[in-house]
Amino acid sequence: MTESDVSYLKSVIHDVPDYPIPGIIFRDITGILDDAKAFQLCIDTMKTRYQEQGITKVVGTEARGFLFGAPLALAMGVGFVPVRKPGKLPRETHSQTYELEYGQDTLEIHQDALTEDDVVLMVDDLLATGGTIEATTHLIRAVGAKVNHAVFVIGLPGLKGHERLHNLNVDVFSMVEYEGE
């Protein structure tokens, strides 16, 4: 990505102060979704970066990971697999519970969504602390699939999610990075 591309994406990402709690600046990616040029730039950048990595499936995390993961999978000519909150997937699932700042949450994946032959690219809109993608990594590896790459539209490196994923041997790429929360 060029500096011009990064600047363009930042120009359509809306900063929402004090959301969801006071002191947080929420980075709202819906500006990318309603700007065809920005949305296409995201998908094209991800595709170009990973098209030679042997990816056989794209996994998107609920819910904004679906918005980028599904069109990326289509552009790459591979399948898309959703990782969802409990009770949202209709067939047998694997579950992974993970820690939040205040409590726990759980993610699920269909038991038959991936095989040991799959090479997976994880996609989400934003990387903060990395808990969601760490749990997703564990789900993917539990079924024997390979996952060594995760891509995000936005990264917040100050919250240490990048480091958390690097400790799992997952290469991280964020198109746009912001300091702070």
Taking residue 50's Cβ as centre, other Cβ atoms within 10 Å add up to 20
Residue 50 C-beta-side C-alpha neighbours within 13 Å: 32
| Active-site entry in 3, 52, 92, 101 | 101
CB 128 within 8 A of CB 100: no
Of 76, 71, 69, the residue nearest 109 (C-alpha): 69
Q: Which two tokens stand for residue 23?
A: 């002191």
Q: Please confirm, yes or no, whether 52 is among the known catalytic residues.
A: no
Three-class DSSP category at 101:
coil
In the chain, the DSSP E strands lie at 14-17, 25-28, 57-61, 79-83, 93-100, 103-110, 119-127, 146-155, 171-177
Supply angle C-alpha 164, 178, 122, rounded to 5: 45
| Active-site entry in 49, 62, 64, 181 | 64
Question: Catalytic residue numbers?
Answer: 64, 101
